[in-house]
């Protein structure tokens, strides 16, 4: 069995990707959005973190989370979010997929893929690159033509705050205003 090692840096910023079990596209349903929003709010009450960037797609989400200065554990937050959604909304979400024996032994449901992908952000350039990746992801998956067309994305906040120009991502334009991401 591989020995998975996750970086744990107090106050770190992490890029996280979480995928649904067998890529079943339930996250953008009304109940999926409600469940995830509620779970994040509940977990943030006890385990605070800031969401720097976020995109919700039908079968996965990408996000950038910054942790408090004295806390290195993003994984407990993600685990609690997944557990909350499963415990409170699995019946309503109603995924009809068999659960393997391995998943049954671990008491896992058929909502989430077991592991997530994470990356500890190293610097401003790395942060900017991951923000761009998050916001362009719906276009990469052919869910929309331009990043601004995707409703479930923090790109709208980035544009409103002047971090991205209004036409970011249109016609291949992905420039940011000067000084925003400089090291």
User: Mind telling me the catalytic residues?
Assistant: 152
Burial of 179 (0-12, 13-18, 19+ CB in 10 A): exposed
Cα→Cα distances 40→91, 94, 163, 174, 178, Å: 19, 20, 24, 29, 33
Biggest CA pair distance of the chain: 53
Strands 117-120 and 50-56, sheet pairing: unpaired
Instruction: Please list the residues that pair with 17 across neighbouring strands.
Output: 62, 117
């Amino acid at each position: 069995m591989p020995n998975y090692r996750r970086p744990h840096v107090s106050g770190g910023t992490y890029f996280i990707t979480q995928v649904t079990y067998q890529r079943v596209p339930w996250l953008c349903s009304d109940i999926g959005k409600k469940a995830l929003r509620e779970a994040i709010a509940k977990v943030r009450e006890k385990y605070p973190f800031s969401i720097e960037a976020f995109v919700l797609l039908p079968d996965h989400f990408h996000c950038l989370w910054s942790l408090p200065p004295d806390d290195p554990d993003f994984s407990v937050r993600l685990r609690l979010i997944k557990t909350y959604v499963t415990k409170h909304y699995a019946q309503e979400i109603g995924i009809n997929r068999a659960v393997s024996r391995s998943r049954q032994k671990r008491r896992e449901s058929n909502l989430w893929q077991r592991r997530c992908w994470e990356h500890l952000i190293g610097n401003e350039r790395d942060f900017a690159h991951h923000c761009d990746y998050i916001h362009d992801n719906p276009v990469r998956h052919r869910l929309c033509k331009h990043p601004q067309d995707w409703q479930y994305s923090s790109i709208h906040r980035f544009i409103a705050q002047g971090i991205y120009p209004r036409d970011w991502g249109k016609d291949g334009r992905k420039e940011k205003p000067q000084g925003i991401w400089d090291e």
